[in-house]
Structure 1
Amino acid sequence: MPFIRAEDLSGLIAAASDIALSVSRDGTILSVITDADDTGFGDLSRWQGRPVEDVLTVESIPKFQAVLERFLSGDPPDRPVELNHTDGRSPEFPVRYRVHAPGSDEMFFMLGRDLRSVAEAQQQLVQAQMSLEQGYEARREFDVRYRLLMRMTLDPILFVSVGRGRIKDLNDPAAALLGTDRESLIGAPFAEQFRDRRQEEFIEGLVNAALSETSSGVEVSARRSRKKIDIVPRILRAAGERIPICRIRATDDPERQLDELGPSLRGLYDKGADAVVFTAPTGVITSCNNAFLDLTDSVTLADVKGRSLSDYLSRGQVDLSVLIDNACKAGPMRIYATRISSDLGVSTAVEISTTRLDDRADGGLAFVLRDASRLETMRSPSPQGTDDANRSVMELVGSASLKEIVSETTDVIEKMCIETAVTLTRNNRVAAAEMLGLSRQSLYVKLRKYGLLNKDFDAE
């Protein structure tokens, strides 16, 4: 073989590899040869004279030790080995080495190929795989939530493909309303589920109804269940396709009647002549209509919200306690006469109806207040009373003196008023005395007089 000069050999090694190391039998780097045109490794001349293990990462040291042991045993490895280099100055980079022994036991060559491009490609592949797995998990989680939502939703809901006109998905209430099971309807033509409906015209009508701001839906007749059904569609776009989400319901559905009743109740609440107040269980105002603001000479809802309704009642907490106790224990209280005092000091006679909205402990209350001031002026007290009262009084004439007749009728009326007050206040003697305008001692005297002192009004 012709003789090869040292400088030519160095160039040959540099051309045949990206990086070449000559290593002594004790693992010390004798020289480093790199391609002069490749500056990606930085200055590796500082590696000379250092152990190879000093420029390797921790996981690569056992690999190099295995290579060195095989060289020392006279059996250099014939398969490449991948080592990761780092010396604290340059970034970590991988190299695939092939080991060559020149026939001397004192040193060997490690000819390496740069694997940075391969490592970057592998890293990108790993990141792409992780992104795919994350996307798959997110899609799977979304699919589980979607199916659980469809299963738990009581409203009949179905999805329709505009292009194909077929049912993409629906829940069990929708299938029951159409008169069959869910599995047989998925993929079936939507128009065929109803009488006298053509596919293209029907789907186009659904789309137009969904895009219209005034349309209340499409009324159809189910072919299997023979029920009259309202379809209320909404449009969404997914994967470049328009998909109507259809909420279907029978025309005689009570929920539909409630939906239609809602605007009427709202109009009555906003524009009605009677004042309406909603309160917490303790009587704190949470909402009211304009009629109540007019009754209390308040400007806005903020002026009354958060205040107790007792602030506006003539007898304050006594009236409020009577109203709440009767509504909670005896059911709706139809008429309770009292007076409302505004923030300006104006007093108005009212009749109050009270209803408990919920049987729970935290259920709210609704109060309807009607202005009774005009009724009071229109009422003219009859000097003779009712016909029954006239006859009862007339029967006493001749059998007793006028003084005795007046005294007896006065006692009857007084007893009735006391019984009513104590009953309304649930045997709260203090509240009853305040309601009647008596002192507590006077009330006890009259209760004892009419034999009502030990009467159980709570049981009544």
Structure 2
Amino acid sequence: MPARRRNTPSASSSCGSGKPDSERTVASAQPSNVFNDPLRSLGNLDAASVAQLLSVAADVAIVVEADGTISDVAFGSEELASEGLDNWIGKLWTATVTIESRPKIEAMLTDPGGAVGVRWRQVTHPGESGNQVAVEYSVVRIGDSDRVLAVGRDLRSLASIQQRLVAAQQSMERDYSRLRNAETRYRLMFQMSTEAVLIVDAGSRKIVEANPASGRLLYTAPEKLLGKRFPSTFDDAGNNDIDELLSTVRAVGRGNDVRAQLADGNGELLVSASLFRQRESAHFLIQLTALDSDSKPIPPGKSNLLDVVERLPDAFVVTDMEGRIITCNRAFLDMAELAMEQQVKGELLDRWLGRPGIDMGVLLNTLQQDQSVQLFSTTIQGDFGSRTDIEVSAVAVPDGKHPCIGLTIRNVARRLTQHDAEPKLPRSVDQLTELVGRVPLKELVREATDVIERLSIEAALELTGDNRASAAEMLGLSRQSLYVKLHRYGLADTSSDD
């Protein structure tokens, strides 16, 4: 091989130097891709040993004649052999690759091992299964002959890793794009909102975000609010009330809105707060609402009424005229199996009340006509699947400043007795109708059949003067069957055999 001839010391140089051969070899500058002394390091390897080394070190080794024909091939990778690439012997090397790869093969055959040193070139072989197999080759001339040896590496595992990397990168870019779009929408809504909003760090109580509407209410540019402690723009009483509100919200998740006077006397604001988590830190969402200058504080009596409603054991809900929840008390949150009032605000009451699209529609239609509803029987279903029998009384206030509907919801499950585990049979069609929506249709049909059967037996007994034999004949039953049904419906004591 050229490398072997290039690295072997000549006789003249050996005679002219007093240093041992090994020292001269180390001292001479050698390329990093060849052995310093291949003859000494590898010895006189025979052809079989070289072939074995090549099959272990390379995924494929090809011997190519001077005319470009493959005369021998060895696969170190079973995967390559399984792709139908083991039938190359006798074919032109350029015929085993795709059209795009042929110029690379011709370049390697023209200058094997070349003047510029050993180079690796990637070519593509068409596989037997229709897929393409990427292999990276380097060629060296075999001794003084015109044959060359091409050593190849299978790049499919590397290509698979590259494809997964590209797919992961594209997925990250899509996720980043979605996050960026969501943040853009949030920023736009935050800036354009007419409602004054502050984001306050729950630990330091410093304002981290403020929209323009909050700056207008607080008479301060939004950028100047950032980093300030909240509350700091209200009078002492207002600051104390807001501090207490924030402490309560952080402890229990909710608190009553407070009224606070600005320190410079520029007005009074209604302050509400809710808690949310972002990454590993907690933040307050502060909403500020300007109060009319002529608005008056809630009288003590009305304030007491609000406190009573909040603590009622029965649920109380206020909705708009379309049934969207405006506010509710603690009892309703318990029935709906929720923790915070913010989780229900703006939601349709129909989400929890009765049969979706039916019961709430009946209530709203009745309220439009009569303005009030009393003892409307239905059910309420919590977010975790519990279902409770309830009675609803409601009143509509369509002519108020803000039209709304008020509903009281009473849990009637506590009225059930032990006998309710086996409910008595309905005695009329009206009672049967009340079961619609509460029990499955299959059970409802069975109940209806029993009602009809019992009514028919009662009618037969009445027509025959409570004579069982005549009633059985009238109904087309045997006397024994009639007796069984009489006991089933509790009619055995009301009839006679004669």
Which structure's CA Rg is the greater one? Answer: 1
TM-score calculated relative to the size of structure 1: 0.50
TM-score calculated relative to the size of structure 2: 0.47
